[in-house]
Amino acid sequence: MLARLFFISLFLSALACAENPRTLRVDYYHSGNAGTEMFSLDRLVLEPLPFPGNVSQPVDRTLRGKYVFEIVDPDTGKLAWSRSFSSIFGEWETTAEARSMNRTFHESLRLPQQEQAFDIILKKRGSNNLFSEIWRLRVDPNDYLVHQEKAAFAEHVVAIENNGDSATKVDVLLLGDGYRIEEQSDFLAKARELTNLLFATPPFQQRRSDFNVWALAPPAAESGVSRPSTGVYRDSPVGASYDAFRSERYVLTNDNREWRRIASSTPYDFVEILTNSETYGGGGIYGLFSTAAANSEWAGYLFVHEFAHHFAGLADEYYTSAVAYESPAEIVEPFEPNVTALLDPYDLKWRRLVREGTPLPTPWPKAAYEEHSLAYQAKRAEMRKENVTEQEMNRLFEENQAIVEGLFSAAPYANAVGAFEGAIYQSKGYYRSEQNCIMFTRTEDFCRVCTAAIEEVIDEYTQSN
């Protein structure tokens, strides 16, 4: 009965966006190292459903990612479509490993099906924040070798929130990984819980009617996902795993081909992978996917924080935690909307929100915070090494958050918008807009700059040009 109801819902949704063409996907390989990169076509795929995106906004106006792809007429050069994104390769190339070896990652570009041959132009952002071409591919959408994908997992899809035409809504897919068939009810309960939590958080709260939310958990043979650092390995359907880039809390999947095949059974613009796991962890890459440990005590925070990376291209604002990325060779203005190098205080990207008289940089209890936070991070690392229970880790997280919020509450610019030094994994040289935010600590609210950045993306997917 549940599957039948979904088929009716999906049929009506497909009719609603019948004006949209089918979804064409370009699967390709992205290879290289810290100094070089190359691309090679895997296959073209015609997905089974209409394109869910806003075709009345064919050109990306926000350009939040490290890359952008453009669809152009090969004869006239006219731009038909563009979208910016980031990738696993784009993160990996900043790690130490990328200086010593080559790796290959599978990636995809999704676009409205075109009637005639076109060129895909892939561009990469330079240190000056300008994009330059790195790959060009001629594509014939009418080639008989274009793979016709089936909606093989449609019977497992459930509509959590259906507010109308996918062409003018933001379609979010909650993709479960590591759930056995008998655990489907647990997954759906968690999907509903986290959906409600997301829409209890401004600005998503005020824009709930602009979203559709779908849930899909392909049945797994075993419960859970891989956590290699503790000897746990699972052949889960989506392939999510802890220890990405050897960071114990970073959860990603490298099986792009498979999760795309699964996801094509439902409309989606954005994907959050919910892992059937308790250990704190998650991840988020702009335009690709986000992940969250669904059974963690901090699942709500993880869900919202990581989704903000994926959805709005927001940068991490914390800087005392251990990460795999290496420090930049020089300080340059970051492209993410919520952090800055403050190279010119008079040209601050969120200057309109700064009240007159607020100093730039803006004072905050940085030394006291760092003294506490570095000690906390050392204790956390030691506890992970000892493989203590997750309950013990949660108590540490709770104690840390209480101390941090107490410290911040007495600060003179606690509620101001300014430029607070310490962001994107660096203690010096980079600044965040407010003292605290969901992107900095495990608090409950986005700062005003992050809120505005999120709303800009919602507008791009829901409003006419």
Over residues 418-435, the pLDDT tens digits come to 999 999 999 999 999 999
Residues 6+ apart with CB under 8 A from 136: 119, 120, 121, 122
Give 464's pLDDT tier (boundaries 50, 70, 90).
confident
Please determine, for residue 9, whether its predicted confidence score (pLDDT) is greater than 80. no
Cis peptide before 361 (omega within 30 of 0): yes
**CATH code given to domain 21-147:** 2.60.40.3250
Per residue, the 3-state secondary structure of 80-96, as one string, reads EEEEEECCHHHHHCCEH
Nearest to 87 by CA among 104, 72, 111, 70: 104
Domain ranges, ordered by start, for the chain: 21-147, 154-316, 339-456
For residue 62, which amino acid is it? T
**Rounded Cα–Cα distance for residues 18 and 136 (Å):** 30
The answer to whether the CB of 116 falls within 8 A of the CB of 346 is no
DSSP 199-238: TTSTTTGGGGGGEEEEEE-PPPSSSS-BBGGGTB----SS
- For residues 158 and 188, is the Cβ–Cβ distance under 8 A? yes
In this structure, what token pair is assigned to residue 81? Answer: 């479509």
Q: What is the pLDDT of residues 356-409, one digit of tens each?
A: 999 999 999 999 999 999 999 999 999 999 999 999 999 999 999 999 999 999
pLDDT attached to residue 212: 98
CB atoms within 10 A of CB 101: 8
For 68-84, the pLDDT digits (tens) are: 999 999 999 999 999 99
Where helices occur in 216-365 by DSSP H, the ranges are: 256-263, 299-312
Helix (H, G, I), strand (E, B) or coil at 326: coil
CATH topology of domain 154-316: Collagenase (Catalytic Domain) (3.40.390)
Confidence of residue 15 (pLDDT cuts 50, 70, 90): very low
Residue with tokens 């440990």: 293
**What is the pTM assigned to this prediction?**
0.95
